[in-house]
A and B are shown apart, each in its own frame.
Chain A
Amino acid sequence: MTAATETGTGVAAPAAAPAVRDAAAVARRPRPRVGKILLGALGVVLSLVWAFPVYWMLLSAVTPDARLRADTPSFLPTHFTLANFGSVLTGSGFGGALRMSLMVTLVTIVLVLAFAFLAALAISRWRFRGRTSFVLAVLFIQMLPAEGLFIAQYKMLSTVGASAPVLGLNSVLGISVLYTAMLVPFTIWMLRGFVAGIPAELEEAAMVDGLSRTKAFLRITFPLLAPGLVASGVYAFLQAWNEFTTALVILPAESRQTLPIWLRSFLSASANRGIDWGEVMAASTLIAVPVIVFFLFVQGRMTSGLVAGAVKG
């Protein structure tokens, strides 16, 4: 203990306050306990603070409006009800917005995965003229903000829509194309890492063993890429499902809103008659919970997928 104290103070910077030195000296034995407990308590308190908004959303969603307007809020679900969910689900708009969100998300995922996968293959398996410029362009493009582009995209789709409504404003395909363009660059980059993690020698070995190039790719490389494709698909899902800015501009018609835009209208409509926060929180919960569950579920998979991407054998 004393020896440790000596070394501790000996090395400490001259400017260090005595208190800090003492703490450093004590750090040898008793401090880890007290210090760790204090830090642990801090960690727990911060966790509670960070979790509170989500907890409050869930709690308010299952509390009747009259209780929410009371002078003293209750911090536990003492007046549990599912009525808020009932009125959101039977009310106008939610079903339509859900269908719209599902369609846009699905089309986007399919397009993004297909296009990005092919491009990732090209840049990780071939060295060709223009490759570096392409990678550079992709990396810059993924940084471009939707806010710097939406006016032009709005004008473009309104012009196209005049002759081809399936691609115009308020169309599933139109907004999916924009989402795909926004998500493809990052997805190429993400998949590139996965493809590069699988040595081309594996495929070549399979070809030496008598498989055709296509078969070698489909049987050897493709299964190893599955975690990467899942991770990219989840990324595209989360982005398309949550996107607000572009959807606000490109889908002005009320009947064509995706869930985020619908939630905003729902809140505004509710504001006209004094916001029913129970219903609004139930609506928020319906949008958020699937995403949160999905995110938590795949988070582990994605990390293990990244690790498993390294080839065994």
Chain B
Amino acid sequence: MTIATPASTIAIRRRRQPATPYLLLLPAVLILLVGLGYPVYWQVVTSLQEYGMMQQFGAPPTFAGLDNYARIFSDERLLPVVTRSLIFCLVNAFLTVAIGLGLALLMKAVHGAVRITMQVVLLLAWATPLVAAVTVFRWLFDYRAGVVNWLLVQIGLDQYQGYAWLAQPLTFFVVATLVIVWMSVPFVAMSLYAGLTQVSEEVLEAARLDGASPAQILRHILLPLVRPVLAIVLLLQIIWDLRVFAQIRLLQDAGAPISETNLLGNFIYELGIGSQDFSGAAAVSIFVLLLTVLLAAPYVRSLMKEDAA
């Protein structure tokens, strides 16, 4: 073992400094270029090309400008899909955050044992793999032997005898919302609860001594203090709920009308994998990617602040 003197170490470090970080980044950059960079590039190029059946059989693609975009955005199937996706996304995101906030406040208010029970149960739901969760909900809402229909009939709602939830678009989305809210609330509740525990007991005690009611403490102290977390969590939820694909795909297997229950991700899947319209699928994908980047900008900005700190 050679022991470098401090002086020579500094000299070595200074000489190496420019190259080392780039070498360390190289593997990550390469894998990102291969796994994501090239697909994005391909998508941009393909969305500008005529890529039909001829090209499937080897003919070189021809440049088509924005034809694909024009074609897809005038496609009568797209507007309902986009509208549906946006409504579904917003309803789910706000519902999730509202319930999550409620649970976080409840956890802050209740006794230790109840709080731990709630935390364990939330972790349980959080940890359940997506496919298993959706499968369980299909079973809960099974039209023949599902426990939900049984319960509804028990409380006197006889019309739910053998009711097929997943066969109608509206009730289909009710079930989809329940799955997604069930799965997503734990993250929101835990993040907000962590934010709430940052509020110091002294501040709350001082407010109480000054005679503030619980409602006032909530409105004037707790909510303003968790607002940054609340904003981030809501934004993430909107971004995540916009890309819902797997849950819908898995629920559609139960016999739902596909074209009336497709969201954006499912539409892309159907265009690309289903009908081999790669330029069309690429055009919609670019639209989704741009929308995501746009929505993600405030979140990324807040993270960059953390990086600078």
Contact = CB atoms under 8 A, between A and B. Distances in A.
B110 interface: yes
Contacts of B269: 147, 150-151, 249
A98 interface: no
Chain A, interface size category, equals 35 or more
Contact of B32 (A181, A249, A271, A284): A181
A311 interface: no
A280 B118 CA distance: 28
Interface in A8-65: 8, 10-13, 16, 20-21, 23-24, 27, 36, 39-40, 42-44, 46-47, 50-51, 53-54, 56-57, 60
B1 interface: yes
Nearest to B273: A249
A123 B22 CA distance: 10
How would you classify the secondary structure of chain B's contact residues: helix, strand, loop or mixed?
helix
Contacts of B293: 140, 143-144
A115 B299 contact: no
A225 interface: no
A313 interface: no
Interface string B19-47: 01110110111011011101110110010
Contacts of B211: 4, 7-8, 10-12, 24
Contact of B210 (A11, A21, A111, A212): A11
Given A111-B31, A212-B4, A131 B136 contact: no
A281 B133 CA distance: 10
A141 B250 CA distance: 26
Given A12-B216, A43-B110, A148 B182 contact: no
A95 B284 CA distance: 38
B42 A156 contact: yes
A11 B215 CA distance: 12
Nearest to B307: A135
A275 B268 contact: no
B285 A264 contact: no
Contact of B147 (A51, A73, A119, A292): A73
Interface in B132-178: 132-133, 135-140, 142, 144-145, 147, 150
A121 B24 contact: yes
A255 interface: no
Contacts of B4: 207, 212-213
Contacts of B233: none
Interface string A87-130: 00000000000000000000000010011101101110110100
B36 A181 contact: yes
Interface stretch (B90-98, B121-129, B221-229): B121-129
How would you classify the secondary structure of chain A's contact residues: helix, strand, loop or mixed?
helix
B145 A69 contact: yes
Contact of A151 (B18, B32, B216, B285): B285
Given A69-B145, A119-B25, A140 B300 contact: yes
12 contacts: A56-B140, A57-B136, A119-B24, A149-B43, A149-B285, A152-B38, A212-B4, A263-B135, A267-B138, A268-B253, A288-B132, A299-B123
Given A150-B269, A210-B3, A267-B135, 8 more contacts: A43-B115, A73-B150, A151-B285, A177-B34, A182-B36, A242-B130, A264-B253, A267-B253
Interface of B: 1-4, 6, 9, 12-13, 17-18, 20-22, 24-25, 27-29, 31-32, 34-36, 38-40, 42-43, 46, 103, 106-107, 109-111, 114-115, 117-118, 120-133, 135-140, 142, 144-145, 147, 150, 182, 185, 210-216, 239, 242-243, 245-246, 249-250, 253, 264-265, 268-269, 271-273, 278, 281-282, 285-286, 288-289, 292-293, 296, 299-300, 303-304, 307
